[in-house]
Structure 1
């Protein structure tokens, strides 16, 4: 073998040894990198576990926080049977308080409060750290409906525990064939009755009169009891026209005799019937005045 061949062979051997050394060094480096990566992951998992445990503990503590104070606003106090009292409302709230501040079912609590006859709406919110704020919107009674209900300013009927305190309010009565006399009337029925009442009430105030009771019978006939004790029979047809005829009479000499009249039947085409307070029989009056035509 010549010199050049020997040099080439020696060079190849050196390269081979160098590659083997580099491979061993690379393997050692990979092992170190893998170990470091697992160490980092282990530390991260431990840290996450600690944080998760801390969060769970904190949540458990928050869920067990009791309600420290209940703030009620908007109620009238329930004096003389009107409105809701604080004790009545708190009794409805207490059913839920054992669940804690954050575990409270606000929808159920709202339903409990709105089951009170005088509560139209309850608005509830949590206030940090442990206060419950409740706003109460009560019904405002403007009239009596039939025998047991009250009518609110918003057109809702509701049944209070005591209705005797509201005899000063006008009564709207609508006779019904329903067997269940406690069944609530439809919104349309209420709307029609209130519309009729307002139509009658407004012009009567000019004469110092008001409607004490408005009754709609099964056959549709309207009866009005006025504040002076006078009963008007308006029938079921042309009710507005017949009522206008009565107002026209008030503008005449009838106004001076009104206190002597017990009832006026306006269901006649060209006349009316008058029942005098001191008379036993009805006196039928034929009216020819142009005011009544």
Structure 2
């Protein structure tokens, strides 16, 4: 009997341990099973994504076959493709769209560009070009867009007949770009206002000269109009009336003064010399 008691006690300990293990399994088993399942699913997803990525980057299904362009007027598709390095046969998934846009944006005519991938095998390029509004004389001749940005040197093949904006220096533009751009914007505003009030070809504007006192207009016939600052629309209306009056009298002006700030309504005109005086011939 003395030896039987420890043996029974051992059986009891074993039974208690088994029961404790069963309780632990009942309590923690479902959670552990979920954790194992989730781990397995995660490993499967990671492996699957790696295999899927490898397939997408190597499959001929996603090779570039066609690139379409919209918005091109001055820039050419071939030039933009060369700048970007975009070629048929590249994998669409491997394209760096932002890098393609930056490369195409270096073309002087391109103002903004948007590249889009169209799976499985094409790319579209939407281009917004600079619209030249005038020629700015900044040491060299530069094309000026509607936001007063000198975006390109004038080239012989550009074939543009635009109003000149003079009186600004390249050094001033480089040293104080914001101020120079502001003056150029003012000149463009005057140019647009003139075009709205003087549609006639005879009265075509040839030059807008930026001076400390304001703006000077040079018309196609050589007439200089000292516009000064402010009240542009009112001054241009007075200019139209003066030009009509001179025309009705058979006269022409060398200089028309509209810059009298003390008397804004006054117009002073320096008439052109008669033909006999300009050429030295005697009047008939």
Using the size of structure 1 for normalisation, the TM-score is 0.66
In the alignment, structure 1 residue 234 sits paired with structure 2 residue 231: no
Distance 1:221 1:39 in 2: 84
Q: Which stretch of the first structure deviates more once superposed, 185-194 or 134-143? A: 185-194
Contact 1:172 1:213 in 2 (8 A): yes
- Secondary structure at the residue paired with 1:102? helix
Provide Cα deviations, 1:94-147, integer angstroms capped at 9, x if missing partner: 169998433333222211111111111111222223433221111222322225
Displacement of 1:245: 5.0
Name the structure 2 match of 1:201.
195
- Secondary structure at the residue paired with 1:159? strand
1:2-151 aligned at under 5 Å gives the runs 17=8, 20-27=10-17, 30=21, 48-64=42-58, 67-76=63-72, 83-94=74-85, 100-146=91-137, 147-151=140-144
Judging changes above 3 Å, is the alpha-carbon distance between structure 1 residues 52 and 221 closer, same or farther for their aligned structure 2 residues?
closer
Distance 2:176 2:69 in 1: 31
Distance 1:273 1:22 in 2: 128
Gaps of 5+ in 2: 261-265, 280-284
- Secondary structure at the residue paired with 1:172? strand
Distance 1:160 1:174 in 2: 17
Name the structure 1 match of 2:270.
273
Displacement of 1:193: 0.8
Alignment RMSD: 4.5
Gaps of 5+ in 1: 1-8, 78-82, 282-293
Distance 2:53 2:110 in 1: 34
Displacement of 1:63: 4.0
Contact 1:175 1:216 in 2 (8 A): yes
Larger Cα-atom Rg: 1
Distance 1:56 1:274 in 2: 84
Judging changes above 3 Å, is the alpha-carbon distance between structure 1 residues 270 and 151 closer, same or farther for their aligned structure 2 residues?
closer
Judging changes above 3 Å, is the alpha-carbon distance between structure 1 residues 164 and 262 closer, same or farther for their aligned structure 2 residues?
farther
Distance 2:190 2:184 in 1: 10
